[in-house]
Structure 1
């Protein structure tokens, strides 16, 4: 049974702005749960039981007001939802004064209740979908259960093929998640759920890479502008619906890479980051020890070496960027060669050192 208590005062406040008469909201047990006259709260209203039983508007005459408990002269209107009386709205006053308000009050209240019930149903459905996504993406369901629960949620499984993670720096309420659906144009059937405090998970229908990229760029800018939060988007690869946990893992891995040049990261674009992400800390530590050795604790030498390795500029330009003299840079590069006992001009050594520095930046 719907609990009218939840929205009783909202109904009273809404109606009090439309009519001057006193208004009461009575629950299905006949007790006043909201009123413009606070003295009537929690009183039993015997006349409401008559109206709920009849399921029709009932006038409370002077005689009824004097003989029935808790009743004042006026009119009571049952709230009938799906054939059941869930409560009563009462308006106090002379019949000729309140008659013109009767149908309006009843209609507004019923619309209020129906709208509230609709939002409750939407919240329940969203929660069921959220729980399904948690089980699906954590690999807790076999194929049969996935199909069964997707059918219960009326999900068109073949429509969806990838997972996107939005790192948004804040929590989004259900109302805001609904707004996100309205401001995106990736696909009308796209689904969004709150995943953790600062992350949203998006179930994405099949669209082209070009469309997805363009629409995500617009979506990102809108989120940043409206909600004043930084956004990072990682995109998993395309997979069959029953294997979307793999797409999620790929999106999560992309999110955890050190790529910061763009706010939108497609896992399928990762190359060096893919290799770095697969390394254990022990393997990374051993590789750095074998390549960078004694200069691991020399941040100045590491910075100079990195600048020289990744730049195509002249020594003079690199030195200017580092705010040092050209001769100082040459001296430090020679020092590195001596410590590491290698020739920096050899291409293989350059590749090994670039990789080692990337690993260092990721793990240290």
Structure 2
């Protein structure tokens, strides 16, 4: 039966590290006495009778030159049983005259056992990290999975009761090497984890990292500005340390503990998409700053959107130079204040009123009616997609 604690890879690592200190050949044998690591590579795969004695009798076995001639695959030296978790998992052998190397035997054996413990801890850590990533990716996929993942979270010491908000970090895939993309993303992941303390971070795809941030600050308040400042600092740090241009979007915070993460992820993804459509030069977007266009994004590709956009299409057909469309956008930007709009456009108020009257006539809408104004405003939001 294979022993995961003493693999050929670990055995050879033990050999290389101990031989760098001890001036003699080292052999590492598995629980059956088979050499799986050695300074003499030609010996790998041979059966070592001295190791079998050390394992079966659970003691240090010294073999001098005379005794070595009577055993198969054995040279003078000492063999010590290797233990891991209080069980003998193999043996380690030092080649040479016993009286010259015995003093090093226990030291080499102890070092080998410590290396096996370290390998086990690293393997466990790697497994826990993979399970943690799988948990994060499961949480962002479906709200229905929340109750089933609670026990999983407890085993990984992740508090699923903690209120979280999702941020999505996107790297331009053109910046990553084809063969090193995953390694670069993992390095980037470490940067995010060290910068945003107590956040859960997972690689979602070859250009996307998902971040589950604690939603409330130390005063138990949801502070959007505080989160945006953290993300702005993160973007700048990645730029300086990793030499990567990234974009990041902060989703909405939902208070229902069993519904928050998947919904927050969807709002972050859509916020990133809408943000890029509106401003490619920006690197940090927030749902709260783009609520209406994000919520309207789902309408972008169906018949309702076509109906809402009809008035703008009529206006565009007649407005060859785009002056009326710019006037309408500026009017809404200044919250329908005629004087501020006229100043921004460097025109007289009478000119503005003439243009607004013409816009109403071309679109077939009455700009004095709230519903008609709302229709035009929503159409403008959809038209930016």
Distance 1:178 1:89, change over 3 A: farther
Shift of 1:317: 9.8
What pairs up with 1:1-364 in 2 under 5 angstroms?
Answer: 1-2=3-4, 3-139=6-142, 141-142=144-145, 144-169=147-172, 171-173=181-183, 176=187, 179-180=190-191, 183-184=194-195, 186-187=196-197, 189-208=198-217, 209=223, 210-236=225-251, 237-243=253-259, 244-258=261-275, 259-260=278-279, 262-282=282-302, 283-293=304-314, 295=316, 301=321, 305-306=325-326, 309-310=329-330, 341=362, 356=379, 358-362=381-385
C-alpha distance in 1, partners of 2:107/2:226?
49
C-alpha distance in 1, partners of 2:227/2:374?
34
C-alpha distance in 1, partners of 2:10/2:61?
23
TM-score (norm 1): 0.78
Q: For this pair of structures, how many residues does the alignment match?
A: 346
Distance 1:255 1:95, change over 3 A: same
C-alpha distance in 1, partners of 2:64/2:286?
72
Contact 2:193–2:199 (Cα < 8 Å) also in 1: no
What residue ranges of structure 1 are gaps of 5+ in the alignment?
320-325
Cα deviation code 1:198-228 (max 9, x no counterpart):
2222222343225433333322222233332
TM-score (norm 2): 0.74
Cα deviation code 1:79-100 (max 9, x no counterpart):
2110112222222112243234
Distance 1:297 1:60, change over 3 A: farther
C-alpha distance in 2, partners of 1:302/1:116?
68
Q: Which segment drifts farther, 347-356 or 202-211? A: 347-356
Contact 1:308–1:318 (Cα < 8 Å) also in 2: no
SS of the residue corresponding to residue 255 of structure 2 reads coil
Shift of 1:257: 1.5
RMSD: 3.9
C-alpha distance in 2, partners of 1:122/1:238?
31
Contact 1:306–1:354 (Cα < 8 Å) also in 2: no
C-alpha distance in 1, partners of 2:323/2:79?
81
